[in-house]
Amino acid sequence: MRSRLLVLLTVLFSLVLSGCHPAAKEQLAFICSNEESICKNWRDAYAAATGKNISYLRLPTAQALTRIASSPKTLEFDVWVGGPAENYVLAKRRGLLAAYKPTGISDIPAAMRDPQGYWFGVYGSLLGFCSDQKALSSRGLPVPKSWEELANPQYRGLVAASSPLTSGTAFTVVRVLDEIYANQASTAIRQIYDNVPRLTNSGTAPVKMVLAGEAAIAITFTPYCAGNSEASKTVTISYPQEGTSYEIGSAALLKNARHRGEAKMFLDWLSQKPGQEVAVKSATPQLAITRDIPGSLASRLQQADPYILPARPQKSAADRDRWLTWFARQGWQK
């Protein structure tokens, strides 16, 4: 009797343990560095289109890269999607990605994908300022329309921004200022970030601070300025007249993906119109990369206003460690 009880308990214990394994062990899992709502929409839209359930973890870009690099053999994730392309260049150099050219690759401009197939663009966003006009006017301040204006001490304590140590959005800010100001870039960065009382981990968080009345200006990718709340009605978008740039929000197959076949199918979907339209039609509408969707990033870059500096993922990746080391030494509070 006792032996039967032990066998029964052993079986029950095994069943409990098997039920405790995360779903990601049995299905495709992706790490997502876009807005939370878009990550969720990618998951749900793919499931609706294919009948395949997938899971995700949302992390800011730099944190996602660290997570992938720290556990390259644990088979935790199959795909990485979201965040500026220079981070994917770094991941490729570190041997964290596998080459795969998805079915929609021919409709993605050559400048927005890796020539060997290690990553490709899924969406694009322009960098700019999201300002609460009401909050600024109550202080007698104008909406900033240049980096020089934003560096003015009159905005001290009113600016929300993320840290490049954790956020791909913030590193885009750094590389833009580096290109515009060259040898004076560190001074320009210091003056602007001195107006930021605390830094966020995520590039999407500064806008939320503006909408919550915790800041008057957010430096971010401008799709995040969109919203349907009452607070968002007083938020306006402006672009720095000296120049701005954009992200090529990318996707890639991770080298040690456990569900490689499923991962390739997901990347095929992301490279084509149905997958790319998810971000375009979201509450924070982003620009598609594929050419066959109207209003794509490539077509937006042909417009004269604002002045847009080209994204240079290879150069940005090469400069990243130098700037992050410099930034960490400045002592700004996170």
Distance CA 218, CA 238 (A): 11
The pLDDT of residue 20: 34
Q: Is the pLDDT of residue 11 over 50?
A: no
Q: Please give the class, per CATH, of domain 125-245+314-328.
A: alpha beta
pLDDT at 97: 97
Two tokens at 73?
A: 């053999």
Burial class (CB in 10 A: 0-12, 13-18, 19+), 305: exposed
CB of 309 closer than 8 Å to CB of 181: no
Q: What CA–CA distance (Å, rounded) separates 55 from 42?
A: 10
Q: pLDDT value at position 13?
A: 35
Residue 79 has pLDDT above 70, yes or no: yes
Q: Are 188 and 238 in contact (CB under 8 A)?
A: no
Indicate if the pLDDT at residue 303 is higher than 90.
no
Over range 71-88, report the average pLDDT.
89
pLDDT confidence bin for 304, thresholds 50/70/90: confident
| Tokens linked to 190 | 């210091």
Q: Which two tokens stand for residue 303?
A: 């417009």
Q: Which CATH number fits domain 22-124+248-307: 3.30.70.100, 3.40.190.10, 3.40.1160.10, 3.40.50.970?
A: 3.40.190.10
Q: Per-residue pLDDT averaged across 56-68, rounded?
A: 94
Answer yes or no: is pLDDT of 129 > 90.
yes
- Has residue 127 got a pLDDT over 50? yes
Helix boundaries (H) for the chain:
2-20, 36-50, 61-70, 85-93, 133-137, 147-150, 168-181, 185-193, 205-211, 260-271, 273-280, 297-301, 313-328
Residue 333 has pLDDT above 70, yes or no: no
Mean pLDDT of the chain: 89
Give me the pLDDT at residue 2, please.
39
d(CA 276, CA 278): 5
Per-residue confidence at 61, pLDDT binned at 50, 70, 90?
A: very high
Question: Can 22-124+248-307 and 125-245+314-328 be said to share one CATH topology?
Answer: yes
For 6, phi then psi, to 5°, come to -65, -40
- The residues that bridge with 159 in the sheet, in sequence order, are 217
Minimum mean pLDDT among 59-73, 151-165, 180-194, 255-269: which range? Answer: 59-73
pLDDT tens digits, one per residue of 211-265? 999 999 999 999 988 765 566 778 999 999 999 999 999 999 999 999 999 999 9
Whether 195 and 141 have beta carbons less than 8 Å apart is answered as: no
Residue 16, pLDDT > 70, answer no
Which residue has better confidence, 10 or 241? 241
- Of the pLDDT bands very low, low, confident and very high (cuts 50, 70, 90), residue 75 is confident
In the chain, what are the domain boundaries?
22-124+248-307, 125-245+314-328
Lowest model confidence (mean pLDDT) among 40-49, 184-193, 215-224, 229-238 = 229-238
What's the rounded Cα separation, in Å, for the pair 304 and 121? Answer: 22
Q: What is the pLDDT of residue 49?
A: 97
Mind listing the pLDDT tens digit for each residue in 276-299?
A: 999 999 988 999 999 889 999 999
**pLDDT, tens digit (0-9, with 9 covering 90-100), for 236-250:** 999 999 999 999 999
Tokens of 114: 């890796």
- Give the residue among 184, 175, 172, 200 at the shortest CA–CA distance from 148: 184
